Chains A and B, each alone.
Chain A
Amino acid sequence: MAATTVEPATFERAAADLAQATAAGRAVRIAGAGSKRLWGASGRQPDVELRTTALDRIVEHNSGDLTARLQAGVPLSAAQRAFASAGQMLALDPPPSPDGTEPTIGGILATGDCGPLRHRYGAPRELVLGITVALSDGTIAQAGGRVIKNVAGYDLARLFAGSFGTLGVILAVNVRLHPLHDLAFTAFGASADPSTLTAGAIALAAAPLELDALDVAWDESGGRLLARCTGAEAARRARRAASLLAGSGLSAVELLDADSELWAGQRAAQRSAHGAVVRVSSRPTSLTAVIAAARECAGTLVGRAAVGHSYVRVEPGAVTLLRDRLRDRLPAGAVATLLDAPDGLRDTLDPWDTVPGPALELARRVKARFDPAGTCNPGVFVGGI
């Protein structure tokens, strides 16, 4: 049976919808615009789909404080337009879905999805100052604050960041903004040797150039490193980045000022309409090994070279082989999470590659405290949470 859809336009309505579902023992699928609808495990068939898309107000933009308060359903692109008019940005740039759906602020925070700006500004959780949530018993709670420095109370914004809607509904977030620079230059260089790319990435990551982004790309034709600088002296810094690339053995080193298409391409390659995408988290020095594993599975790769995050695109049938190859090659603690995948694949393998242990038990206790009835996105998260 198809789920009933609700689209609350107020916090109180959203909380009441959740409370009613809990009282009736219904499972609620929580969604934003649906740009990452199929991420996570399939979970229990939902009875209700709660969409945050009607919670779409930019409540405050305090440009002098470089902060803003946004309701969860605000599309990232709408928020960026508003902030750009004051020369500011929210330093998040995850890609839209393959069909072009723009992600919402709430969805980005709930999934922790990132783009190239992850290099300088960190994951979405690093930019959230405060959060307002609805819990499954109908409680509306907030944590954090509206100022950029604040240590009062527990950091529930981080707890809800990346929780895939399993603890409750994110209703609004207070975020930190950054200056948006007009001037941007990208230095890039190529190599068909993965270890040259890794050495180049490590050299650039250690250089005091304050890069906005440092990405890697790999496909059957070879690999590239891309380093982006913004700000008053962006061109000079990008030239220095280019010399470092050349000095690390990369060839065809160039400098580009109209670089937006280049970066849009990096972002788009994190998603796949028909294939599978596995996000690998490891050390920056593991890049050579990740590329080797991707090659053995006929995969292509983009990633944040200095963060240690790679998005590997493979045929759906190759996901298990890729994970095996990664396990053989990477140090303990590396993670291979399945993101995009065609229908059916996530029913045959665990997208999370769950590792049992005390951390998982602790996660279950957190779920039990926040959503004891299991109303919110049951079964979509790690370990069947």
Chain B
Amino acid sequence: MSGDRHALISRLQDACGGEHVMTESHELATYRSDGLLHYRQAPLVAALPGTAEQVRRCVAACYEAGVPWVARGAGTGLSGGALPVSDGVLIVLSRLRRIVSVDLDDARIVVEPGVTNVAVSRAVAPTHFYPPDPSSQIVCSIGGNIAENSGGAHCFKYGFTTNYVLGLEVVLTDGTMVTLDRDAPGYDLLGAFVGSEGTLGVATKIALRVIPAPEAVRTLLAFFPDTVSAGDAVTAIVDAGMVPGAIEMMDRLSIQAAEQATGAGYRLDAGAALIVELDGPHEECISGLERLTALCRSAGALDLRIAQSDAERDLIWRTRKAAFAAMGRIAPAYYVQDGVVPRTRLSEVLRRIDELASQYGLRVANVFHAGDGNLHPLVCYDSAVEGEAARAEELAGMIIRACVDAGGSITGEHGVGVDKRAYMPAMFGEADLDAFQRLRCAFDPWGLANPGKVMPTPRLCGEVPGPYRQHPLERAGLAERF
């Protein structure tokens, strides 16, 4: 086998240049985890191609050697989607970071996958912007956003990555390069590819739609006695037909943690904080803000603050975004969960989370995208206490089950990866999983692209009628057909 490994490494070196292929364990250590640090696995080898053609040659080398591979962007994912496989190649896309073209008349930008999310918005500013804005947007890459169908705080109004992808250049597992265009006649293979977590191939060029930057933004911070009254305010806002750019909620524990981090003046006696941001045409923002403040008051707001400057708006958002990191101040460790519930069942599920937290003797802070019911409970624990980490993980699992029981989802934006494979059967039956597998097999019948992710148990692809295609293991002389 070591001879095969050498041959593969040598082909990867031919493709990328020797200095861009990592084989030593100290070099590979960097790539053992993505943003979900408790899964660790070094790859056999890591390759850093610099062009789409080099990516294609890496994938083709894996195909011919019958070796699995995993694509990795910036490695900020929170579901272990970019976790390497021990006997496989990690293809790192960070060197593909060119902005290929910007065409504002057609509201379109073409980039390579390693370009960061925020760089896309910067490239089309100030007249336009790219709406999906995951919290990691300063470092996360567009290629990773495509794989995960990333969201962010503005999904309620603006949607997700999949709503903005116009075209993709994709390398399939057998090394074929294919262009998928949103408007091309035929199946929406592009739509199927976005959010497929690296299991259908790897994107090497990405065309995105951008939209005009909003003319005005008004940010309101409202404090409520509890999450129930804050939830009532959200209901009133939605029932009034308003579509704010963002509606974010923080509960008592996350307010306390975030306030310690930024000192923004969040009220520590409040049971919930709501950040509502209106954006759009100037006149709609002005009239909307009046309605919004009235609705929050009738729902029982203790205090309302409207950002009077960009600096004040930034501070409100910095405090919201600090909530995750700030948990470190009140707990030695935490587990971030990502579940979704129908918005109208938020209060009920939050009560259930409280019950579960008391039952497990652990604290749970809730920070969430309230407009779309996307919860991010932070389960606090101390790994120095024996068994507490395991109890936290179990509690996080119970929270996910509560979301599914309420008609929601096991993941709103972090993806399934390796972390949530086990929960897939809570949402999908055997027939559903089989249908997923049909799609995967159409793209990658050999199961070489990001194996072990998304599906709860490993599955193989059966043959379908049609022209015979040689299995890479056959080509490598490692298997024969009988």
Q: Is there contact, CB below 8 Å, between A359 and B186? A: yes
User: B155 to chain A: which residues have CB within 8 Å?
Assistant: 148-149
Known: A149-B151, A162-B187. A206 touches B407 (CB 8 A): no
Q: Is there contact, CB below 8 Å, between B427 and A366? A: no
Q: Is there contact, CB below 8 Å, between B151 and A142? A: no
Q: Does B35 contact A (CB under 8 A)?
A: no
Q: Is there contact, CB below 8 Å, between B428 and A360? A: no
Known: A141-B435, A158-B162, A206-B212. A148 touches B186 (CB 8 A): no
5 sample A-B contacts, Cβ–Cβ < 8 Å, listed by A number: A147-B412, A156-B192, A159-B439, A210-B281, A232-B288
User: B180 to chain A: which residues have CB within 8 Å?
Assistant: 359
Checking B106, B284, B432 against A143 with a beta-carbon cut-off of 8 angstroms, the contacting residue is B432
Per-residue CB contact flags for chain A residues 40-62 toward chain B (1 = under 8 Å, else 0) read: 00000000000000000000001
Which stretch in B136-144, B238-246, B312-320 binds the other chain?
B238-246
The 8 closest A-B pairs by CB, nearest first: A158-B191, A179-B241, A141-B435, A281-B183, A150-B409, A208-B215, A64-B344, A369-B438
Expressed in whole angstroms, the Cα–Cα distance for A63 and B416 within the complex equals 29
- CB nearest to A229 among chain B residues: B281
State which residues 186-242 of B face A: CB under 8 Å: 186-189, 191-192, 194-196, 212-215, 235, 238-239, 241-242
User: A364 to chain B: which residues have CB within 8 Å?
Assistant: 466
How near does chain B come to A303, taking the closest CB pair, in angstroms? 13
Checking B188, B235, B344, B465 against A159 with a beta-carbon cut-off of 8 angstroms, the contacting residue is B188
Per-residue CB contact flags for chain B residues 424-457 toward chain A (1 = under 8 Å, else 0) read: 1001110110111011111101000000001000
Expressed in whole angstroms, the Cα–Cα distance for A146 and B343 within the complex equals 11
18 further A-B contacts with Cβ under 8 Å, apart from A209-B281, A233-B284, are A63-B239, A65-B342, A122-B163, A125-B188, A146-B342, A146-B407, A148-B372, A159-B188, A208-B212, A208-B215, A232-B284, A233-B281, A236-B283, A333-B183, A352-B186, A359-B184, A366-B187, A369-B438
Q: Does A335 contact B (CB under 8 A)?
A: yes
Which stretch in B170-178, B261-269, B357-365 binds the other chain?
B170-178
Q: Does B94 contact A (CB under 8 A)?
A: no
Expressed in whole angstroms, the Cα–Cα distance for A163 and B192 within the complex equals 12
Expressed in whole angstroms, the Cα–Cα distance for A354 and B184 within the complex equals 9
Q: Does B88 contact A (CB under 8 A)?
A: no
User: B167 to chain A: which residues have CB within 8 Å?
Assistant: 333
Q: Does B280 contact A (CB under 8 A)?
A: yes
- CB nearest to A282 among chain B residues: B183
User: B181 to chain A: which residues have CB within 8 Å?
Assistant: 333, 359
- CB nearest to A144 among chain B residues: B409
Q: Is there contact, CB below 8 Å, between A147 and B189? A: no
Expressed in whole angstroms, the Cα–Cα distance for A284 and B212 within the complex equals 15
User: A62 to chain B: which residues have CB within 8 Å?
Assistant: 342, 344
Q: Does A161 contact B (CB under 8 A)?
A: yes
Q: Does A306 contact B (CB under 8 A)?
A: yes
Q: Does A337 contact B (CB under 8 A)?
A: yes
Kindly count the residue-residue contacts between A and B in the assembled complex, taking CB atoms under 8 Å apart: 250
Q: Does A316 contact B (CB under 8 A)?
A: no
Q: Is there contact, CB below 8 Å, between B107 and A359? A: no
Known: A135-B435, A207-B212. A354 touches B372 (CB 8 A): no
Q: Does B260 contact A (CB under 8 A)?
A: no
Q: Is there contact, CB below 8 Å, between A151 and B149? A: yes
B binding-site residues for A, Cβ under 8 Å = 103-108, 127-128, 148-149, 151, 155-156, 159-160, 162-163, 167, 172, 176-181, 183-189, 191-192, 194-196, 212-215, 235, 238-239, 241-243, 280-281, 283-284, 287-288, 340-344, 369, 372-374, 407-416, 420, 424, 427-429, 431-432, 434-436, 438-443, 445, 454, 464-466
Q: Does A324 contact B (CB under 8 A)?
A: no
Expressed in whole angstroms, the Cα–Cα distance for A352 and B187 within the complex equals 12
Expressed in whole angstroms, the Cα–Cα distance for A142 and B431 within the complex equals 8
Expressed in whole angstroms, the Cα–Cα distance for A242 and B213 within the complex equals 20
Expressed in whole angstroms, the Cα–Cα distance for A64 and B243 within the complex equals 13
Checking A150, A153, A308 against B454 with a beta-carbon cut-off of 8 angstroms, the contacting residue is A153
- CB nearest to B192 among chain A residues: A159
Q: Is there contact, CB below 8 Å, between B189 and A366? A: yes
Q: Is there contact, CB below 8 Å, between A126 and B159? A: yes
Expressed in whole angstroms, the Cα–Cα distance for A364 and B469 within the complex equals 14
State which residues 54-112 of A face B: CB under 8 Å: 62-67, 87
Q: Is there contact, CB below 8 Å, between A161 and B466? A: no
Expressed in whole angstroms, the Cα–Cα distance for A208 and B126 within the complex equals 12
Checking B187, B344, B420 against A152 with a beta-carbon cut-off of 8 angstroms, the contacting residue is B420
Checking B284, B411, B416 against A231 with a beta-carbon cut-off of 8 angstroms, the contacting residue is B284
For A, the interface residue count at a CB cutoff of 8 angstroms equals: 83
How near does chain B come to A138, taking the closest CB pair, in angstroms? 10
Q: Is there contact, CB below 8 Å, between B413 and A149? A: yes
Known: A206-B104, A208-B213, A237-B284. A372 touches B465 (CB 8 A): yes
Q: Is there contact, CB below 8 Å, between A363 and B189? A: yes
- CB nearest to B287 among chain A residues: A232
A binding-site residues for B, Cβ under 8 Å = 62-67, 87, 122, 125-126, 133, 135, 139-143, 145-156, 158-159, 161-163, 167, 178-181, 202, 205-210, 231-233, 236-237, 240, 281, 283-285, 306, 308-309, 333, 335, 337, 352-355, 357-360, 362-366, 368-370, 372, 381-383, 385
Checking A210, A236, A284 against B106 with a beta-carbon cut-off of 8 angstroms, the contacting residue is A284
Expressed in whole angstroms, the Cα–Cα distance for A167 and B103 within the complex equals 36
Q: Is there contact, CB below 8 Å, between A369 and B439? A: yes
User: A141 to chain B: which residues have CB within 8 Å?
Assistant: 431-432, 434-435
User: A233 to chain B: which residues have CB within 8 Å?
Assistant: 281, 283-284, 287
Known: A126-B163, A202-B105, A237-B283. A181 touches B241 (CB 8 A): yes
Q: Is there contact, CB below 8 Å, between A150 and B235? A: no
How near does chain B come to A236, taking the closest CB pair, in angstroms? 5
Known: A122-B163, A146-B407, A237-B284. A335 touches B238 (CB 8 A): no
Expressed in whole angstroms, the Cα–Cα distance for A173 and B162 within the complex equals 18
Q: Is there contact, CB below 8 Å, between B442 and A369? A: yes
How near does chain A come to B136, taking the closest CB pair, in angstroms? 15
Expressed in whole angstroms, the Cα–Cα distance for A133 and B438 within the complex equals 14
Q: Is there contact, CB below 8 Å, between B105 and A285? A: yes
Q: Is there contact, CB below 8 Å, between B185 and A152? A: no
Expressed in whole angstroms, the Cα–Cα distance for A309 and B183 within the complex equals 9
Checking A145, A159, A161 against B427 with a beta-carbon cut-off of 8 angstroms, the contacting residue is A145
Expressed in whole angstroms, the Cα–Cα distance for A260 and B432 within the complex equals 42
- CB nearest to B455 among chain A residues: A153
User: B439 to chain A: which residues have CB within 8 Å?
Assistant: 154, 156, 159, 366, 369
- CB nearest to B374 among chain A residues: A149
User: A363 to chain B: which residues have CB within 8 Å?
Assistant: 186-187, 189
Most chain B CB within a 10 A radius of its CB, from A159, A335, A362, A381:
A362
How near does chain B come to A163, taking the closest CB pair, in angstroms? 6
Expressed in whole angstroms, the Cα–Cα distance for A337 and B181 within the complex equals 15
Expressed in whole angstroms, the Cα–Cα distance for A233 and B288 within the complex equals 10
User: A125 to chain B: which residues have CB within 8 Å?
Assistant: 188, 191
Q: Is there contact, CB below 8 Å, between B191 and A368? A: no
User: B212 to chain A: which residues have CB within 8 Å?
Assistant: 205-208
Q: Is there contact, CB below 8 Å, between B195 and A210? A: no
Expressed in whole angstroms, the Cα–Cα distance for A112 and B347 within the complex equals 37
Q: Is there contact, CB below 8 Å, between B127 and A206? A: yes
- CB nearest to B462 among chain A residues: A369
Known: A149-B340, A284-B106, A369-B441. A381 touches B186 (CB 8 A): yes
